[in-house]
């Protein structure tokens, strides 16, 4: 007989299946509720019918018409749609498909009056924007939650398209939306370490090109004291703030850092790779940040979200000193190679403030614990390097 769990008369495998079913029902219901209100008013841009529900690896809710083309596309974003090519993995996949076939998992039904609507995948972003994906025409429409933001993104596009590859092809002020061309990109999980290094190098190169254009037009600065004060108003006396402040020399609190229009979330998962070219997506969080903010975003993102500390190590051991020195010089500043932890601390103040912009960020506590881990790792690398 199969083993039984304590306090249960059912075999353990049956209990595991029951737990899976209950978890799936709760998760699908949560995704359904997140999407339902946002889709209202935009049904006519989507095909009518039943939509399966899932989340991207980053936690964004997704609804999609289940067909081979959509599933193949979403596998790049949702690893849970992949089945390991092993006997055990195939069995798990077949069992999962069996359960999904016979048990109602709170799917979403969409009724459209437009018979030629082609959108068959819909996704909600962290800031409430809606992305409608039409694989047949190869287009993605982003409908913005903040109606006035489309003008800002259009201006951002005009500014950055001179220096970055961006695949936006049109804006609609009336609908508060913009259209992007879909790129058949290489999934980030399949990137080699060399490709990641090339992406980081491209970020430095593109931003320094942009900085050169902007260097004499900047007026706004922010002091470290103001950054700390702004964050304390949002987060209170959180441990991570004290850990960050520990890395800031007392004499640096009055430092005034130039703020420049930036991508806002230039982590490598917002960079698409196709045929050796890097395309930059998700400009919805563009705004004014300390100028080296996006130079550190890709490095930080790998350590924080992919447990890849190699780029953090490269930064702290001087691999990118030449790039940072050039950026600092363009703003009339000196890059001190001994203050890398301080620069990382300033970046983290901005990055956490960025997270607090999303008022409904239910994951903020777990995110802050990730920041603490990255900062601790940076301290360890720096200490080890100092001993050498």
- Whether residue 317 is contained in a domain is answered as yes
- Whether residue 371 is contained in a domain is answered as yes
Q: Are residues 125 and 211 in the same domain?
A: no
- Whether residue 358 is contained in a domain is answered as yes
Share in percent of the chain as helix, strand, coil (round to 5): 50, 15, 35
Residue 85: predicted pLDDT: 44
pLDDT in tens, 173-204: 999 999 999 999 998 889 999 999 999 999 99
* CA–CA gap between residue 151 and residue 144 (Å, rounded): 11
- Whether residue 204 is contained in a domain is answered as yes
Question: Tokens standing for 73?
Answer: 């596309």
Q: How confident is the model at residue 27 (pLDDT cuts 50, 70, 90)?
A: confident
pLDDT in tens, 259-316: 999 999 999 989 999 999 999 998 888 899 999 999 999 999 999 989 999 999 999 9
Q: Are residues 213 and 351 in the same domain?
A: yes
Q: Compute the average pLDDT of residues 360-386.
A: 85
Q: Mind giving me the DSSP string for 219-254?
A: --EEEHHHHHHHHHHHH-S-HHHHHHHHTS-GGGTT
Q: How confident is the model at residue 2 (pLDDT cuts 50, 70, 90)?
A: very low
Position 102 pLDDT exceeds 60: no
Percentage, residues of the chain above pLDDT 70: 84
Q: Are residues 32 and 109 in the same domain?
A: yes
Q: Are residues 197 and 322 in the same domain?
A: yes
Closest by Cα among 367, 341, 339 to 354: 367
Q: Are residues 194 and 104 in the same domain?
A: no
Residue 83: predicted pLDDT: 47
Name the helix (H) or strand (E) containing 28.
helix 12-39
Q: Are residues 87 and 34 in the same domain?
A: yes
pLDDT in tens, 74-91: 988 887 665 444 444 445
- Whether residue 154 is contained in a domain is answered as no
Q: Which of 103-117, 144-158, 208-222, 234-248 has the lowest mean pLDDT?
A: 103-117
Report the domain count for the chain. Answer: 2
Q: Are residues 54 and 108 in the same domain?
A: yes
SS3 readout for 47-104: CCEEEEEEECCCCCEEEECCCHHHHHHHCCCCHHHCCCCCHHHHHHHHHHHHHHHHCC
Among the three residues 86, 119, 143, which one is the final residue of a domain in this structure?
143
Question: Tokens standing for 267?
Answer: 């982590």
User: Can you give the length of the chain in residues?
Assistant: 388
pTM of the model: 0.82
Sequence-distant (6+) residues with CB within 8 A of 107 are 28, 32, 50, 51, 52, 53
- Whether residue 168 is contained in a domain is answered as no
Q: Which domain holds residue 116?
A: 12-143
SS3 of residue 272 by DSSP = strand
For 370, counting Cβ atoms within 10 Å of its Cβ (0-12 exposed, 13-18 middle, 19+ buried), the class is middle
Q: Are residues 26 and 113 in the same domain?
A: yes
Q: Are residues 134 and 217 in the same domain?
A: no
- Whether residue 76 is contained in a domain is answered as yes
CA 286 remoteness from chain centre:
13
Q: Are strands 49-55 and 108-110 parallel, antiparallel or unpaired?
A: antiparallel
Among the three residues 80, 112, 143, which one is the final residue of a domain in this structure?
143
Q: Compute the average pLDDT of residues 97-116.
A: 62
Q: Compute the average pLDDT of residues 329-335.
A: 95
Q: Are residues 200 and 111 in the same domain?
A: no
Q: Are residues 200 and 94 in the same domain?
A: no
Q: Are residues 139 and 279 in the same domain?
A: no
Residue 62: predicted pLDDT: 93
* CA–CA gap between residue 298 and residue 206 (Å, rounded): 13
- Whether residue 173 is contained in a domain is answered as no
Whether the CB-CB separation of 43 and 112 falls below 8 Å is answered with yes
Among the three residues 143, 175, 197, which one is the final residue of a domain in this structure?
143
CATH number for the domain spanning 288: value is 3.90.1200
């Amino acid at each position: 007989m199969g083993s039984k769990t304590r306090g249960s008369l059912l075999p353990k495998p049956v209990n595991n299946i029951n737990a899976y079913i209950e978890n799936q029902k709760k998760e699908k219901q949560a995704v359904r509720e997140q999407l339902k209100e946002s889709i209202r008013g935009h049904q006519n841009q989507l095909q009518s019918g039943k939509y399966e529900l899932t989340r991207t690896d980053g936690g964004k809710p997704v609804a999609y018409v289940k067909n081979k083309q959509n599933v193949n596309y979403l596998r790049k974003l949702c690893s849970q749609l992949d089945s390991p090519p092993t006997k055990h993995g195939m069995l798990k996949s077949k069992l999962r498909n069996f359960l999904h076939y016979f048990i109602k998992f709170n799917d979403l039904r969409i009724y459209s009056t437009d018979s030629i609507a082609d959108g068959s995948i819909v996704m909600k972003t962290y800031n409430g924007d809606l992305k409608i994906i039409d694989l047949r025409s190869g287009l993605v429409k982003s409908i913005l939650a903040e109606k006035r933001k489309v003008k800002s993104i259009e201006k951002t596009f005009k500014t950055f398209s001179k220096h970055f590859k961006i695949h936006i092809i049109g804006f609609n002020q009336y609908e508060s939306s913009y259209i992007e061309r879909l790129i058949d990109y290489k999934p980030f999980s399949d990137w080699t370490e060399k490709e990641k290094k090339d992406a980081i190098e491209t970020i430095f190169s593109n931003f320094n090109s942009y900085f050169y254009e902007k260097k004499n037009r900047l007026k706004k600065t922010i002091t470290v004291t103001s950054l700390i004060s702004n964050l304390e108003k949002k987060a209170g006396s959180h441990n991570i703030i004290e850990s960050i402040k520990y890395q800031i020399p007392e004499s640096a609190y009055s430092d005034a850092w130039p703020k420049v229009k930036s991508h806002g979330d230039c982590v490598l998962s917002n960079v698409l790779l196709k045929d050796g070219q890097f395309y930059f997506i998700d400009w919805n969080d563009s705004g004014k940040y300390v100028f080296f903010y996006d130079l550190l975003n890709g490095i930080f993102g790998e350590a924080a979200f992919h447990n890849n500390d190699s780029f953090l190590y490269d930064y702290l051991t001087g691999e990118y000193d030449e790039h940072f020195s050039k950026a600092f010089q363009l703003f009339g500043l000196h890059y001190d190679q001994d203050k890398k932890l301080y620069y990382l601390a300033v970046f983290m103040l901005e990055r956490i403030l960025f997270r607090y912009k999303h008022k409904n960020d239910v994951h903020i506590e777990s995110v802050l614990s990730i920041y603490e881990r990255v900062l601790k790792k940076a301290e360890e690398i720096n200490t080890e390097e100092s001993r050498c």
